[in-house]
Structure 1
Amino acid sequence: MKTKLVWLFWGALFSAATAAAQTPAPLLQNGLARPGIWLNGDWHYVVDPYDEGVRRRYPLNLSPAASTGVVEYDFAASPTLHVPGDWNTQRPELLLYEGTVWYEKSFEYHPRPGWRSFLYAGAANYRSQVWVNGNPLCEHEGGFTPFNCDATSLLKDGANFVVISVNDTRHADDVPALRTDWWNYGGLTRDVGIVEVPDSFIQDYSLQLQRGTGNRIAGWVRLAGAPATNRVTLDIPQLRIHREIPAPDGKATFEMEAAGLERWSPDDPKLYDVTLVAGNDRITDQIGFRTLEVRGTQILLNGAPVFLRGISLHAEAPLRPGRAHGDDDARTSFEWARELGCNFVRLAHYPHDEHTTRMADRMGLLVWSEIPLWQGIAWTAPGVSDKARRQLEEMIVRDHNRSSIIFWSITNESAKSAERNAFLHELATAARSLDGTRLITAATNQSSRPEPHKMVIDDPLIADLDVVGLNEYIGWYDGVPADLDLTSWSNPYDKPVIVSEFGGDARQGLHGDPSQRWTEEYQEDIYKHQIAALRKVAFIRGIAPWILKDFRSPRRQLPSVQDGFNRKGLISNNGEKKKAYFVLQQFYREAARDRGAATRSDGR
């Protein structure tokens, strides 16, 4: 009876403490560059399939040998998982696990007097709760966006520990919802650390090239914390810019000429070192400057039409199993895309990590970034709109200084309905209010077909978009490749269209007649017919075929062919190129050559 009362006491105590945990603080811009310590590396873990960790006092990080009563866990003696990383591919027994895993990390830390310390996580899929030294800190929902929580009052000088519970159970009212076509990688999948800022600090900032100008930079800096300063210093040494900017009420705004500015483009991805100083806070970023707009069915980059030679890709590691993270994974995937002839990547179907978007800046790849409003969203369920809006905001706030990003995408392949249309109208409005410098898009497969080979791109969602993403699988899910020769397309909205998905599955090394599904030859034939057909459509301003590399999906179970992988990749999960890769590569070489100045996109 006594033991039962003890359990009830601790359960009630920690339930109340968890309820008192704060929501994350507003996101710190450029968190990866802030001072502090990174907690990446091995973390001890305990699997909790019944979600009893709070009741069993996991947040206290107790030692069975040093504690009174019964303690049925011991992080210090438990196995480890590497952070960043998913749990599914690090431990075979966790490959299909969905539920809660508890992570623990002990570390030495010495807080700086007069500074704040934030626990920063690049992403934790899907729900996470954070405790510092046994005290509740914060909780976050959403598996692909960063969060930071003010841990100043909970960290000590010397030995500290952090415990984070991560739960990746799927729910109908989540974003994404119950069903996806990618692996539900759980865990602390991106960087985790302690980020430090002074009591008065730079919260966020934005620098952009003004639309319609060649060398006029506009932007703002937002300050937070104690009101220790009302002035911001901006330095861009390569442009000989040094400005002292007033920041009344904690916000500085500015416009200035930048003589000699070189605009960022895929052919010349010029980045400038930008340093901001406010009081004791100093941060340096690398930012490119370019303009972006639409004119009729054209997309203009730096004032010149651009054709987007793209490819879609998931955030799967290119050379090992599991979730991608860090510079090396991003660089390898983008080198493959560059070798293919791409100037554009669609980062599907959720925000990829910050290393990826920064690598795109450096390597000169235009980017489509999206939130995971995939199929099956419960549009009218309580809280779903708030979840989608929060993920959209976290994506945009993190990356609004990335010159590579040209599109914010708000959904993929969502079925038409009045409820969906209203939901996405509000989301598009929110995206424009958060960032009016980029184009809003979405990928739709909701075209109508008045006749067997006539397609009309008429999803009502398009009214809220600047650029239309069209997913079509003629030759795979829809008919055979030769049907493309007879298909015509119309565009009643008179907006730029990107074919954001097409393709078909092929097991690398499986060969046969071009009419035999699952072979490299069949996939190759799809690409030949698709490219020939799309060449004839005047309003198409780019393509992003599905997909660069085979990726894990629990829905794909055809033995000896799929084996748990979506096989639409142009490159196998082992890094081997399929025949269709070279068909697309040849088309992109021709497109780059034939379009000349339009594909240079440098505005000169």
Structure 2
Amino acid sequence: MYKKFILTYLLLQSIALFAQQNLLVNVYSRPVQSLNGKWNYIVDPYENGYYNYRYEPFDKQEKPSKSAFFMNAKQEDKTELLEYNFDKSPTLNVPGDWNTQTDSLFFYEGTLWYKKSFDYVSKKEGNRAFLYFGAVNYHADVYLNGKKLGTHTGGFTPFNFEVTGKLKDKDNFVVVKVDNKRCKECVPTLNTDWFNYGGITRDVQLVEVAATFIREYEIQLNPKNNKQLTGFIKLDGQAAANKKITVTIPELKIKKQITTDGDGTAQVTIDVKNVKYWSPENPHLYNVLITAGDDVLSDKIGFRTITTKGHNIVLNGKNVFLRGICIHEESPNNGKRVSTIEDARTLLTWAKDLGCNYVRLAHYPHNEHMLRLADEMGILVWEEIPVYWTIDWKNADTYANAENQLTEVITRDRNRASVIIWSMANETPSLPERNTFLGKLAKHSRSMDPTRLISAAMEQSNYEGNPLVKTIDDPFADVVDVLSFNQYIGWYDGLPEKCNEVTWKITQDKPVVISEFGADAKAGYHADKLTRFSEEYQEDLYVQTLKMLSKIEQLQGLSPWILKDFRSPRRQLPGLQDGWNRKGLYSDKGEKKKAFYILKAFYDAKAKQ
């Protein structure tokens, strides 16, 4: 009995220490208590709430000082010196970025503390509870009732901590130290072309599950046999081994029982027939029910295959041309981080209005709303982690961070039929250490999910030194399934008329997707087609670029840059940029520019072919 107690204790300690690396999936369908809403906050640029005056962390002390902000202390008598009070501090909305909620924090990069008080009553004795964050940008230290739960690094992926046995019926408080300072070893690194929104930017929820619950699962069509579902279901808990699990798909008349192994994992192999394959034309989703004892979890999953053959991309056995657009995670009609399903639906509806069957979610994992809606609306998706421009390639911690972000997004979205491409990077230099870095990421991605394609947004170069013949000379081109690259002929490289002179020599027998092209234009600014930042310049560039790219034999898709204007501190030209990247086909106020109609006409014609 004592030995069993020790093993149970060690298991629980392991879960408590490393819970952020064992992600709960499908929180969408689980019983939750939302902690969204008003959170008190304290701005702390000197991090006085974390370090004492000797720069020693309070949370490393055996008995932390009440001066530590995570203690949420209150003055007990009038003689006590205490220099903070969350309950008297202002509030911010969660989810949301801090930059656009108060003018004084617009460009703030540093530490800000959040606090939320709440009550909690378990629905059933013996159940377990987890504190789940959709995303926090960038580094989070999380405390519950004055005790540290753990940390998470990475601004765009979910994480959670087990809080079973740590909650009270009344007067709980969670404190989160959020630090969005950019750093050389971060992912992304110091230099980006988007706004560094800080804060708790996605939902915060208390998730209650059974004592032994469904931690993770994947149920997809076998990429080598479209008459078979394959995957796995992973249980978590003391009763996880040799446990009966039932998978039910009523529409397909499937009720399959499987049994976990000693590790709590059960392999899924189910023969199916008469499957309605998910596609942009028919985004059919099946209700899938997984039952493991007291834990019952439902999901809506589409079944489809995605492969390549020569220079074709093949969806459900048929060639598909990706009519796409890039999207940043900013709200449709203003500059702030997307946090609502309504904003996500608007962005994807704009893409469909453009004639898109595909979107590239740049340059980081977006809110889960986007993927769920893409499934529902029939939009193919490229997902990307923020390995962007020049990462600290030789730093082992930087690689571990990138791999963890990749793990978290694959874990979250591996059952979304809309996701067809995992992207490893954007516009990275071809260096030996970079090639090793990206090669390891690609290998990790394939080990986690062999059902999807691998790509990266690479850069083009001159073929045999000829500036008018472009090619892809990059060792990582041999690793990817889809050859993708960004090109800006006519904007950063000459004028639009140069597109008439340039040809392409692609030596790899792989499908080519142009991951970016474009030009800036301020909505409503009209001039001749040679005037930079005019709608006419952008319009002409789209006309000339589409003619040029259509001559590439292997061309199987496009995702021009970008759906709508977005904030970027790099873009400072007064009167035209004013802190916005203006390459959107929609303005920051949702106005369509002239180039929108050029691309729409091109896509409408492609859809009829």
Matches within 5 A, 1:386-397: 386-397=400-411
Match of 2:325 in 1: 311
Aligned-residue Cα RMSD (Å) equals 1.3
Match of 2:152 in 1: 140
Aligned residue among 199, 203, 207 for 2:211: 199
Q: Deviations over 1:251-301 (max 9, x none)?
A: 111222222210000011000110101011111000000001000110000
Match of 2:259 in 1: 246
1:129 has 2:129 as partner: no
Match of 1:42 in 2: 38
In structure 1, how many angstroms separate the alpha carbons of the residues matched to 2:129 and 2:430?
A: 46
CA pair 278-479 structure 1, distance change in 2 beyond 3 A:
same
SS in 1 for 2:171: strand
Match of 2:245 in 1: 232
TM-score using structure 1 length: 0.93
Asked if structure 1 preserves the Cα contact closer than 8 Å seen for 2:132 and 2:206, the reply is: yes
- The residue type paired with residue 322 of structure 1 is K
SS in 2 for 1:248: coil
Q: Which moved more, 1:91-100 or 1:58-67?
A: 58-67
Match of 1:529 in 2: 544
Asked if structure 2 preserves the Cα contact closer than 8 Å seen for 1:130 and 1:138, the reply is: yes
1:483 has 2:495 as partner: no
Q: Deviations over 1:503-554 (max 9, x none)?
A: 0000111100001111000000000001111122110100000000000000
State the Cα distance separating 1:21 from its structure 2 match: 6.4
- The residue type paired with residue 540 of structure 1 is L
Match of 2:29 in 1: 33
1:462 has 2:473 as partner: no
Q: Deviations over 1:191-234 (max 9, x none)?
A: 00111111111110101111243332112101111116611011
CA pair 221-483 structure 1, distance change in 2 beyond 3 A:
same
In structure 2, how many angstroms separate the alpha carbons of the residues matched to 1:149 and 1:66?
A: 35
Match of 2:173 in 1: 161
Match of 1:82 in 2: 93
State the Cα distance separating 1:32 from its structure 2 match: 2.5
- The residue type paired with residue 395 of structure 1 is V
CA pair 21-202 structure 1, distance change in 2 beyond 3 A:
closer
Match of 1:17 in 2: none
Asked if structure 2 preserves the Cα contact closer than 8 Å seen for 1:135 and 1:154, the reply is: no
Aligned residue among 334, 339, 346 for 1:320: 334
1:501 has 2:512 as partner: no
In structure 1, how many angstroms separate the alpha carbons of the residues matched to 2:228 and 2:439?
A: 32
Match of 1:109 in 2: 120
State the Cα distance separating 1:67 from its structure 2 match: 7.9
In structure 2, how many angstroms separate the alpha carbons of the residues matched to 1:67 and 1:308?
A: 68
- The residue type paired with residue 39 of structure 2 is W
Aligned residue among 301, 306, 311 for 1:292: 306
Q: Which moved more, 1:208-217 or 1:567-576?
A: 208-217
- The residue type paired with residue 101 of structure 2 is Q
Q: Deviations over 1:394-440 (max 9, x none)?
A: 11111000000000000000011111111111111111001100000
SS in 2 for 1:109: coil
Asked if structure 2 preserves the Cα contact closer than 8 Å seen for 1:75 and 1:104, the reply is: yes
> Structure 2: which 5+ residue stretches go unaligned?
1-15, 52-66
In structure 2, how many angstroms separate the alpha carbons of the residues matched to 1:96 and 1:494?
A: 46
Match of 1:208 in 2: 220
Asked if structure 1 preserves the Cα contact closer than 8 Å seen for 2:460 and 2:470, the reply is: no
Q: Deviations over 1:446-490 (max 9, x none)?
A: 423421210011211111100011100000000111111111111
Asked if structure 2 preserves the Cα contact closer than 8 Å seen for 1:457 and 1:489, the reply is: no
In structure 2, how many angstroms separate the alpha carbons of the residues matched to 1:32 and 1:474?
A: 43
Match of 1:564 in 2: 579
Match of 2:432 in 1: 418
Q: Deviations over 1:541-586 (max 9, x none)?
A: 0000000000000000000000000000000000000000010001
Aligned residue among 384, 393, 398 for 1:370: 384
In structure 2, how many angstroms separate the alpha carbons of the residues matched to 1:361 and 1:150?
A: 30
SS in 1 for 2:444: helix
- The residue type paired with residue 552 of structure 2 is V
1:97 has 2:93 as partner: no
Asked if structure 2 preserves the Cα contact closer than 8 Å seen for 1:447 and 1:459, the reply is: no
Asked if structure 2 preserves the Cα contact closer than 8 Å seen for 1:105 and 1:163, the reply is: yes
Match of 1:590 in 2: 605
SS in 2 for 1:393: helix
Aligned residue among 408, 430, 439 for 2:453: 439
TM-score using structure 2 length: 0.93
State the Cα distance separating 1:63 from its structure 2 match: 2.2
1:581 has 2:583 as partner: no
Q: Deviations over 1:1-34 (max 9, x none)?
A: xxxxxxxxxxxxxxxxxxx965625001112221
SS in 2 for 1:525: helix
In structure 1, how many angstroms separate the alpha carbons of the residues matched to 2:69 and 2:226?
A: 57
SS in 1 for 2:442: helix
In structure 2, how many angstroms separate the alpha carbons of the residues matched to 1:221 and 1:243?
A: 13
State the Cα distance separating 1:157 from its structure 2 match: 1.9
In structure 1, how many angstroms separate the alpha carbons of the residues matched to 2:48 and 2:129?
A: 30
In structure 2, how many angstroms separate the alpha carbons of the residues matched to 1:117 and 1:320?
A: 36
In structure 2, how many angstroms separate the alpha carbons of the residues matched to 1:265 and 1:275?
A: 22
SS in 1 for 2:20: coil
CA pair 118-67 structure 1, distance change in 2 beyond 3 A:
farther
- The residue type paired with residue 36 of structure 1 is V
- The residue type paired with residue 50 of structure 1 is Y
Asked if structure 1 preserves the Cα contact closer than 8 Å seen for 2:19 and 2:160, the reply is: no
In structure 2, how many angstroms separate the alpha carbons of the residues matched to 1:379 and 1:225?
A: 38
SS in 1 for 2:194: coil
State the Cα distance separating 1:322 from its structure 2 match: 0.5
- The residue type paired with residue 96 of structure 1 is F
Match of 2:201 in 1: 189
Match of 1:339 in 2: 353
Asked if structure 2 preserves the Cα contact closer than 8 Å seen for 1:23 and 1:139, the reply is: no
SS in 1 for 2:599: helix
Asked if structure 2 preserves the Cα contact closer than 8 Å seen for 1:236 and 1:273, the reply is: yes
Match of 2:4 in 1: none
In structure 1, how many angstroms separate the alpha carbons of the residues matched to 2:43 and 2:18?
A: 25
CA pair 408-66 structure 1, distance change in 2 beyond 3 A:
farther
- The residue type paired with residue 435 of structure 2 is N
In structure 2, how many angstroms separate the alpha carbons of the residues matched to 1:64 and 1:542?
A: 62
1:176 has 2:188 as partner: yes
In structure 2, how many angstroms separate the alpha carbons of the residues matched to 1:536 and 1:67?
A: 79
Asked if structure 2 preserves the Cα contact closer than 8 Å seen for 1:210 and 1:291, the reply is: yes
Matched positions, count: 575
State the Cα distance separating 1:492 from its structure 2 match: 1.2
- The residue type paired with residue 458 of structure 2 is T
- The residue type paired with residue 252 of structure 2 is L
Match of 1:6 in 2: none
In structure 2, how many angstroms separate the alpha carbons of the residues matched to 1:57 and 1:527?
A: 56
In structure 1, how many angstroms separate the alpha carbons of the residues matched to 2:524 and 2:162?
A: 52
- The residue type paired with residue 235 of structure 1 is T
In structure 1, how many angstroms separate the alpha carbons of the residues matched to 2:23 and 2:434?
A: 29
In structure 2, how many angstroms separate the alpha carbons of the residues matched to 1:67 and 1:33?
A: 49
Match of 1:400 in 2: 414
> Structure 1: which 5+ residue stretches go unaligned?
1-19, 595-604
